[in-house]
Amino acid sequence: MSAKERLYSFLETKLADYDLILVSNRQPYEHRYSSKGIDCITPAGGLTAALDPVMQATKGVWIAWGSGTADRDAANEEGHVKVPPGKDLYLLHRLWLTKQDLKDYYYGFSNQVMWPLFHNAFGRPSFKHSFWRGYERVNKKFAVAVNKELQQRKGRNTIVWIQDYQLALCSEWIQRDYETTMLLHFWHIPWPSSELFGICPWRQELLRGLLHNDIVGFHIREYVYNFLRSVERYLPEAEVDYRNRHVVYKNNITHIREYPISVDFDYINHAARSRKTVDRIKHLRSNMRFQFPIIGLGVDRMDYTKGIIEKLKSLAVFLKKYKHYRKKFVYVLVAPPSRSRIDLYRRVGYSIQNMVSDINYDFQAAEWQPIVFMHENLPLDELIAYYRMADFLIVSSLHDGMNLVAKEYVAAQVDQKGVLLISEFTGAAKEMKDALIINPFDTEQFARRIGEAIRMPLRERRVRMQKLQDYVAKHDIYHWLYTILADALDISTERKLF
Ligand code: ADQ
């Protein structure tokens, strides 16, 4: 039985008596005004794509911020709208945030405090009290929405599943019946060392908020232990059990577990083999810019944690050192804009664009520029064509919770000719043992590794890629969903028994 079949059979049998309430900042469907009236679009993102079918199967409710221009028009007075359009399988419960909420909670606390703090402070956190107040205010708004939904399900078994670092406090204000309601929180970014976490003026509040859940999930064991140590250090009244990985705080027991997120391997792998992808690659190859024997690739949001600058520095050293690769190789950097309302992101974006221009200027030759820069979002099927075409992919994050791009690349490498180079500071590096591991801070080593990847014999590439594929195929997104929901069910059953 595939992981997908196992998940759906589990949802239909064991979880049939449970309602699912999913809570996330971003929504799976957005309504926008267009020249034709109102369009419904599905914002890009692997997570929403994976959770949407689960919601369709469980017919639950998804609570999220209504970010689209026409979202209010499309929803009823309570913010409810049935989705997917035309199928009406589950309810999307939109809540509304003011401009001030967004400024403080989203652009402020989430992205200028939590994001840098939890990524080893590669950007300096901006601990403004107004940001914190906005974060609390909006987390309460989400909790109010959850409470409304719980009220309507009184007496029914319900799993409330909260996503990510924007909503660390939400559970604190959820009024739940311990008998019937389970609270889960999945943390998509790293949890840093306790020393680093400790610089946050609201460290206790964040920990207390999370300890209202029954399960807090992280990608890897290191983050689990960093979290446990942070609790031990800053909440002395909590009881930390390292062996069983749980915390007892104010009569609540929170299990701290690792669940490495993944991708829909089968979908990507099939799409990569399709005629459409083959034709697309042919078309891309006919473009002057891609008519070189070796193609390297990078796919990263324009974020300072992704190590794009470090990657460009190493590529420049590589080009300087290995002159014979000039005109033999091109590096495609697909880096869509991200959080560009924040000053630091705009500055990093300019630096990257300038570096690309400098490298292309310094190393150019007739009809050749080493870096092809694409500053745009691409549909997944288009990305898959690039993944299949690329002879190597570099993930050079300075710190990254998991990194799905690495797993997408592995899934799309149907010819098994590609080499994955991955930073040791990603969650994915802990699983991707057959990749070439790099330290993005060590420019010389990094440049050498690029050379090694290019020179690697085809046989070795195949052996490594096969092992990576076996791993990702087995540990796909459905495996991730199943392990989390099965744990939730086990814990809920145990609680009822004792
Ligand atoms: P991100 O920091 O966004 O996610 P990542 O895991 O790599 O990082 O996911 C990025 C997603 O965006 C991938 O699915 C990728 O295909 C897509 N993407 C990137 N560039 C794109 C482009 N140009 N066009 C279209 N799509 C593009 C956070 C954490 C990660 C963690 C995930 C999931 O920072 O560490 O792996 O959540 O938990």
164 lines ligand 1 (CB under 6 A): no
Task: Say yes or no: 158 and 292 in one domain.
Answer: no
- E-strand spans in 2-65? 18-23, 30-34, 37-41, 61-65
Best of 41, 118, 338, 404 for a ligand 1 pocket test (most atoms within 8 Å of beta carbon) = 404
Task: Say yes or no: 386 and 482 in one domain.
Answer: no
β-partners of residue 297 are: 332, 393
Other C-beta atoms lying within 10 Å of the C-beta of residue 95: 20
- What is the Å distance from ligand 1's center to 304 Cα? 14
383 lines ligand 1 (CB under 6 A): yes
Tokens of 259: 């669940």
Which has the closest alpha carbon to 401: 261, 299, 195?
A: 261
Task: Say yes or no: 9 and 126 in one domain.
Answer: yes
Q: So what's the pLDDT on residue 49? A: 78
46 lines ligand 1 (CB under 6 A): yes
Task: Say yes or no: 47 and 162 in one domain.
Answer: yes
CA dist., res. 465 & res. 74, Å (int):
46
423 lines ligand 1 (CB under 6 A): no
Task: Say yes or no: 106 and 140 in one domain.
Answer: yes
pTM, entire model: 0.97
Split into its structural domains, the chain has a count of 2
Residue 304, domain CATH: 3.40.50.2000
CA-angle at 212, arms to 497 and 236, nearest 5°: 105
pLDDT digits (tens, 9 = 90+) for 259-283: 999 999 999 999 999 999 999 999 9
Look up residue 9 and give its amino acid.
S
401 lines ligand 1 (CB under 6 A): yes
Helices (H), 217-342: 221-234, 265-273, 275-285, 308-321
CA dist., res. 389 & res. 462, Å (int):
15
Best of 259, 405, 409, 423 for a ligand 1 pocket test (most atoms within 8 Å of beta carbon) = 405
Tokens of 300: 């990263």
Query: Whose Cα sits closest to atom 27 in ligand 1?
Result: 377
Measured in degrees and rounded to the nearest 5, phi and psi for residue 153 equal -115, 25
β-partners of residue 159 are: 20, 182
Which atom in ligand 1 lies closest to the alpha carbon of residue 408? 16
Task: Say yes or no: 178 and 240 in one domain.
Answer: yes
Look up residue 302 and give its amino acid.
M
Token pair 């195929």 in the structure block, residue:
473
138 lines ligand 1 (CB under 6 A): no
Query: Whose Cα sits closest to atom 37 in ligand 1?
Result: 188
Q: So what's the pLDDT on residue 183? A: 98
306 lines ligand 1 (CB under 6 A): no
CA dist., res. 151 & res. 133, Å (int):
27
Task: Say yes or no: 26 and 164 in one domain.
Answer: yes
CA dist., res. 303 & res. 404, Å (int):
15
201-205: long-range contacts at Cβ-Cβ below 8 A with a sequence spacing of 24 or more?
201/127, 201/132, 202/132, 203/230, 203/234, 204/234, 204/235, 205/169
Task: Say yes or no: 256 and 291 in one domain.
Answer: no
The strands making up 215-218's β-sheet, listed across from edge to edge, are 80-83, 90-95, 61-65, 18-23, 157-163, 181-186, 215-218, 252-258, 246-249, 239-241
Residues 485 and 215: beta-carbon distance below 8 Å: no
Task: Say yes or no: 177 and 52 in one domain.
Answer: yes
CA dist., res. 227 & res. 217, Å (int):
10
Task: Say yes or no: 167 and 138 in one domain.
Answer: yes
Range of the domain at 327: 265-474
332 CB-contact burial (10 Å; exposed 0-12 / middle 13-18 / buried 19+): buried
Which atom in ligand 1 lies closest to the alpha carbon of residue 188? 38
CA dist., res. 498 & res. 493, Å (int):
9
Residues 71 and 94: beta-carbon distance below 8 Å: yes
Chain centroid to CA 413: how far?
21
220 lines ligand 1 (CB under 6 A): no
489 lines ligand 1 (CB under 6 A): no
CA dist., res. 113 & res. 107, Å (int):
9
Tokens of 108: 């402020």
Query: Whose Cα sits closest to atom 12 in ligand 1?
Result: 45
Helix (H/G/I), strand (E/B), else coil: 218? strand
Counting as low any pLDDT under 70, the low residues of the chain are: 44-46
Q: So what's the pLDDT on residue 46? A: 66
Best of 403, 423, 425 for a ligand 1 pocket test (most atoms within 8 Å of beta carbon) = 403
- What is the Å distance from ligand 1's center to 229 Cα? 28
117 lines ligand 1 (CB under 6 A): no
Q: How many CA atoms lie within 13 A of 107 on its CB side?
A: 15
Q: So what's the pLDDT on residue 496? A: 78
43 lines ligand 1 (CB under 6 A): no
- What is the Å distance from ligand 1's center to 300 Cα? 7
Q: So what's the pLDDT on residue 276? A: 98
CA dist., res. 4 & res. 477, Å (int):
8
Look up residue 120 and give its amino acid.
N
Task: Say yes or no: 65 and 178 in one domain.
Answer: yes
CA dist., res. 309 & res. 305, Å (int):
10
- What is the Å distance from ligand 1's center to 44 Cα? 9
Task: Say yes or no: 293 and 321 in one domain.
Answer: yes
217 lines ligand 1 (CB under 6 A): no
Q: How many CA atoms lie within 13 A of 281 on its CB side?
A: 19
Q: So what's the pLDDT on residue 459? A: 98
